[in-house]
Structure 1
Amino acid sequence: MTDPQNHSNPSLCEKLIFTVGYAGHDRDSLLALFLAHGITAVADIRTFKRSSYWTAFDADSFGPFLRENGIAYVFMGDVMGGKPQMPELYPDGQLDYDLMAEMPAFRAGIERLVAGAEKYRICLMCAEKDPLDCHRTLLIAPALKQAGFDLRHLVAGKVETQSDTEGRMMAINGGNAPDLFASTASDPDADYKLALARQIKRVAPMAEDAIKRR
């Protein structure tokens, strides 16, 4: 983007979106983090608006708190939450991120973030402290990368780049998985894809834990 008025906002010029997990924070410390990094809008991507433990971040009260402090807030857990309440997305008992990524509602959510990033410096908010344990990295980040965005994760008092997060993921989930039927053409992203699949298998929610009993 070439509009000189956007130069004060790196996310608008560089197509950046931030992420954070609120675990370990209180309202004031999280607000201070947003302000320190110039965040102007928070997209809440939890499935549920309320938490039984982190009650300070319940959407009905935290959203107004952010707005009172000059930060826009939108709840998007209904279309991008990491524990969707649709049994068909858990074909083998565990959430299938590939199926979820193809849902029209999820794709519309990605488009909404892409459009919003033209006006705001957005931070995706979920609960998990480590982005490797959260669908914001394992599900949403790949979709945003396809849309030309890079991500920055606010974690442990520092900013971790998406490439650094992926590096940690590959270190944890490294190792070859021989495929006798693989083509002779090498895939430059093979190690990343393998590590992503393994990390998803490690942390993606199980239906019996994710779907609320009515």
Structure 2
Amino acid sequence: MRSSPFSRHNPQFNRDSLRASLKDAGIKYVFLGKELGARSRDDHCYVGTKVSYARLAQTQLFQRGIQRLLDGAALHRIALMCAERDPVDCHRTILIGRELCAQGASVSHILADGQLEAQSDAIGRLVERLQLGGIDMFRSYSDAIDQAYAMQEDAIAFDRDAQIAQRDSTTKAST
């Protein structure tokens, strides 16, 4: 779910181009970036300059998007698209997948090699990657999962200041 489906480098992934390509393949494209995108326009969803996924997940707009996915999944096969190669590097897994699973949905991710990976397996990989697997009498695996979600959110969540700095450096480079 890209909040803004536009790319200067890959115009085939712009909203209109993507919609047309998918239509030619018999696939319907529905944009839900406003509801499920990770770049909220709601100031309440920010802690400092970063989006808080917990706050975003509590908004009515996000919950309407989740409900639309759940309703649609009862009738259709649904795929959420984003730009990241690895699911654990994308808000689809850390925000949307987490919320869908909390509501009882089954979530699988399509990996680069075409294989499917369950949400729980993706988060298990993240726990390993972040070296949080040291379970002991003071910390459960559930605690490690919560910590992995929090750490990955901190690493990937949209940051207004970072976007401004990137925009400034891109503008300077092109002048």
TM-score (norm 2): 0.83
Does residue 125 (structure 1) correspond to residue 81 (structure 2)? The answer is yes
Contact 1:170 1:192 in 2 (8 A): yes
Structure having the higher helix fraction is 2
Aligned length: 163
| Partner in structure 1 of residue 53 of structure 2 | 97
Alpha-carbon distance, 1:210 to partner = 4.5
The reply on whether 1:170 has 2:170 as its aligned counterpart is no
Where has structure 1 moved over 4 Å in runs of 4 or more?
A: 184-188, 210-213
User: Match for residue 70 of structure 1?
Assistant: 26
CA contact (8 A) 2:109 2:117 kept: yes
Number of the residue aligned with 1:149: 105
Deviation larger for 157-166 or 98-107: 157-166
Q: In structure 2, the residue corresponding to 1:160 is in which secondary structure? A: strand
Structure 2 match to 1:61:
17
- Alignment partners' CA distance in 2, 1:207 and 1:86: 12
Residue 137 and residue 121 in structure 1: after superposition, are their counterparts in 2 closer, same or farther (change >3 A)? same
Q: Structure 1 length normalisation: TM-score?
A: 0.69
- For the residue of structure 2 that corresponds to 1:74, the secondary structure is coil
Q: Which runs of 5+ in 2 are unaligned?
A: 168-175
Distance 1:118 1:202 in 2: 33
CA RMSD of aligned residues (A): 2.4
| Residue 163 (structure 1) shift | 2.0
Q: Distance in 2 between matches of 1:176 and 1:188?
A: 7
Residue-by-residue CA offset, 1:79-100 (whole Å, 9 max, x unaligned): 1112223333222221100010
Aligned to 1:161: 118
What does residue range 1-214 of structure 1 map to in structure 2 within 5 Å? 45-157=1-113, 158-175=115-132, 189-210=142-163
